[in-house]
Amino acid sequence: MTSSTGEGFIRTATLPHALGARHEGVALGLTVATTTWAWVAIVDAIAGDPFRTFTVLGGVVAFTVTHYVLNVVYGVVLVTAIRGTRREPTLMMAVVFGFIMVEFAFAFVATVFSHLGLGALAWVRLFVGSLIGAVVAVAMLARRHPLADCVRRAK
């Protein structure tokens, strides 16, 4: 984390809790968004129908902007909640429950869009993409936060 001084010099500094969570959450959201966006694009290309998913979901630009904004919001909320477990360990159970609910929502969305234009590959495109994004998020968070310790303390 860096801050700029009046002389244009960049130095390392500790950011306030909220700003640090926001910065870390944005980085998490952008990483997950890029990973899942690339997954969907690759599956579409392999299926021989480039950008099909993006087109069905509103067009390449609209999908991309919405996808990145939602992932950044998701990242900031997730990091803020995980940082909150330092003060209230039981918050981790809410994070885990919310994570499971988001994955169920993606399963539902994949089912709906399999009937609305994406066909059988909706599961691979959307649900597997969300699982890959979840793995990336957990891996990034596990490096920075003692997630296993938080879960143990929340029991």
pLDDT tens figures, 5-15: 444 433 333 44
Q: Are 154 and 92 in contact (CB under 8 A)?
A: yes
pLDDT at position 112 is 92
Residue 147 has pLDDT above 80, yes or no: no
Average pLDDT, the chain: 84
* Interval 98-111 mean pLDDT: 91
* Interval 135-143 mean pLDDT: 91
DSSP state of 14: P
What residues contact residue 86 under an 8 Å CB cut-off, 6+ apart?
none
Q: Are 148 and 89 in contact (CB under 8 A)?
A: no
| Alpha helices by DSSP H, 9-146 | 17-46, 52-56, 60-84, 91-113, 122, 129-144
pLDDT at position 120 is 86
Domains of the chain, by residue range, sit at 17-154
Q: How far is CA 110 from CA 6, 94, 105, 113, 129, in A?
A: 51, 24, 9, 5, 10
Residue 12 in 3-state DSSP?
A: strand
Taking each helix axis from N to C end, the angle separating 91-113 and 60-84, rounded to the nearest 10 degrees, works out to 160
Per-residue pLDDT of 73-101, as tens digits, reads: 999 999 999 888 888 888 888 988 998 99
**Structure pTM?**
0.79
Q: In the structure encoding, which two tokens stand for residue 76, read together?
A: 């900031």
Instruction: Name the more confident of 30 and 141.
Output: 30
Confidence of residue 66 (pLDDT cuts 50, 70, 90): very high
Which of 31-45, 46-60, 77-91 comes out lowest in average pLDDT? 77-91
Q: In the structure encoding, which two tokens stand for residue 19, read together?
A: 């700003």
* Interval 95-124 mean pLDDT: 90
Q: In the structure encoding, which two tokens stand for residue 45, read together?
A: 């290309």
DSSP secondary structure, 50-81, as one string? TTHHHHHTT-HHHHHHHHHHHHHHHHHHHHHH
